[in-house]
Structure 1
Amino acid sequence: MTQVFNGKKTASRFLVKLQSDLDDLNSVYKIRPCLGIIRIGENPSSALYVKNKLKIFKSLGLEAQEYWFDETISYLELCSKIDDLNHDVSVHGIIIQLPLPPHFNVQEICNQINPLKDVDGLTLHNQGLLLQNNLSGLVPCTPLGCTFILKSLFKDLSGKRTLVLGRSLLVGKPAALLLLHENATVTIAHSKSENLPELIENTDVLISAIGHPHCIKGSWIKKGAVVLDVGITKSMSSTSPQFFGDVEFEEARQNASFITPVPGGIGPMTVACLVYNTYKAAKRTLTGTPVPYDLSILSESLFFF
């Protein structure tokens, strides 16, 4: 029987466990981790995502502040605001809500963030650490959540044939690097790759982060495979918005042993990992020492399927 992942329930359990760590941090240092979120423009989806993040942080007794700017803000003005947050000792994490207006270079903007506060893991510094198999930095939240899920399912990913669809710096590439860190056998493909059906039919674990609705046919999924659908596309074709993943969910669940739905799957785990990264950044700042990820311990203690 196919197990359908309940992202909201699992993220809640994740945060319950993390709450004790947050309370311990507060009892010793008398502070609560604080996140600064920079949002530019009037993208309604971005506004909704930020609202959700603020709600989660508030529910945990944490600080989170949104800094909104009109699209007319200049590059220098934006860099100046980031620099202010970099030097604000009360702020432990900084994220740039994506997407940015097209006239901004995402990598250039993200690189203005102090790597110790880069809780989205997008600076060249943190990307470089991950590339070197070094988990002492900060890792992007979505692939981190995916890795937690896989570690809780398999315990040991050594030799598992995994396929990552997508090559973005936010999901695809870091997901592949995290899987390599766990000794999985990793293949990376994307929307332009040839023979996708054949690749998918021979993989034990599929992580899809392409962002094209239902581009992965359910019939391609190997019997017993694990499917993590990260892609999400919003459609306004009906009276209310609908959200679709990369994978044909109903068809895929006939073959998969485990599958994440869209919505309600990876999304809640991404926000939970953002809280975790902010906690990790705050603890490093306060203790003066790196706080490496221990994926095995976290997976064992945070996930109960």
Structure 2
Amino acid sequence: MQELRGINVANAINEKILEDVKGLKGAIPHLAIIRVGERPDDMSYERGATKKMDKLGFRVTSFVYPNEITNEEFQKEFDKINEDEDIDGILLLRPLPKHLDEKAIENKINQMKDLDGISPANLAKVFAGDDTGMAPCTAEAVVEMLDFAGVDLKGKKVTIIGRSLVIGKPVAMLLLKKNATITMTHTKTVDMPKTCRDAEVLVAAAGVARMVDESYVGDGAVVIDVGINVDSEGNLCGDVDFDKVKEKASILTPVPGGVGSVTTSVLAKHLLKGAFLRRG
């Protein structure tokens, strides 16, 4: 079994970014991170994204607002960032507090600055197979890992656990563009383990700690674990029970150290793309 770690994939993406940024002729891409409140997972992702941008020599500015900010105030603050010509890309840490109108942000964000593919325009491009759009970073990180591992998806039976607009559905569209044969499972799927066992590539994005055991995995399957969970003992873990699945999988991603570590590199790749779209 090959353990497919994210660091190697991220390094390959970073090298390509450092080569491509020369095309901006000295301009430095500028990322805006917008965070409301002090959620630990948001703050962790913010730190990771900031560290990645610093490593690549990109600029990053964090806009942090109190949890109690009114919807009117927040919309005005977002408009300023969205319209700022010095900012090439926006990362909105979600979900927002319930009193804030997240849908309004999705509808108004400049699609060239929409690095995590939250706007209807970018999602439509992903579903249409239009490469000018930006897919959600985690969904694209899954594809980057499969490409890096040399998995030829043409005609492959791929099963995805989860149907969210953040991961499940966009991953399905990205892999369909590579001519994979897609099956999607969800909470209403009958006999999910059997459906998953038929897959040559299994993408787990259910958000349930260690849900996927050996009964879900066919012999020699490629298993990509997108889940980020905390178990009853406070340990970070994925949707896949690594120890139970490793004897059956041919390729398996760990958590932590797998897809999540590629996501910030995809974010940087999108920032560079946004800079080219706006400045090119």
TM-score class, shorter-chain normalisation, is over 0.9
Which of residues 198, 203, 209 in structure 2 aligns to 1:207? Answer: 203
Which of residues 55, 59, 64 in structure 1 aligns to 2:51? Answer: 55
Matched, 1:264 2:257: yes
Return the TM-score normalized by structure 1. Answer: 0.88
How many percent of aligned residue pairs carry the same amino acid?
Answer: 34
What amino acid sits opposite 1:102 in the alignment? K
Shift of 1:155: 5.5
SS at match of 1:68: strand
The alpha-carbon distance between structure 1 residues 232 and 155, as it changes in their structure 2 partners (threshold 3 A), is closer
Q: Which residue of 2 aligns with 1:25?
A: 23
SS at match of 2:69: coil
Matched, 1:76 2:72: yes
Q: Which moved more, 1:102-111 or 1:262-271?
A: 102-111
Partners of 2:201 and 2:67 lie apart in 1 by 40
Contact 2:17–2:269 under 8 Å retained in 1: yes
Instruction: Summarize deviations over 1:126-168 as a string: whole Å, max 9, x none.
Output: 0111122212111111111111222333464221100111111
Return the TM-score normalized by structure 2. Answer: 0.95
For structure 2, the residue ranges without an aligned partner over 5 or more in a row are none
Shift of 1:222: 0.6
Matched, 1:127 2:126: no
Q: Which moved more, 1:121-130 or 1:2-11?
A: 2-11
Contact 1:38–1:68 under 8 Å retained in 2: yes
SS at match of 2:108: coil
Contact 1:160–1:185 under 8 Å retained in 2: yes
Which of residues 177, 183, 205 in structure 1 aligns to 2:179? Answer: 183
Q: Which residue of 2 aligns with 1:104?
A: 100
SS at match of 2:223: strand
Which of residues 31, 42, 45 in structure 2 aligns to 1:46? Answer: 42
Partners of 2:192 and 2:143 lie apart in 1 by 23
For structure 1, the residue ranges without an aligned partner over 5 or more in a row are 288-305
Partners of 2:146 and 2:20 lie apart in 1 by 23
The alpha-carbon distance between structure 1 residues 155 and 228, as it changes in their structure 2 partners (threshold 3 A), is closer
Alignment of 1:246-285 (within 5 A): 246-285=239-278
Which of residues 245, 248, 266 in structure 1 aligns to 2:238? Answer: 245
Partners of 2:122 and 2:216 lie apart in 1 by 35
User: Cα RMSD over matched residues?
Assistant: 1.5
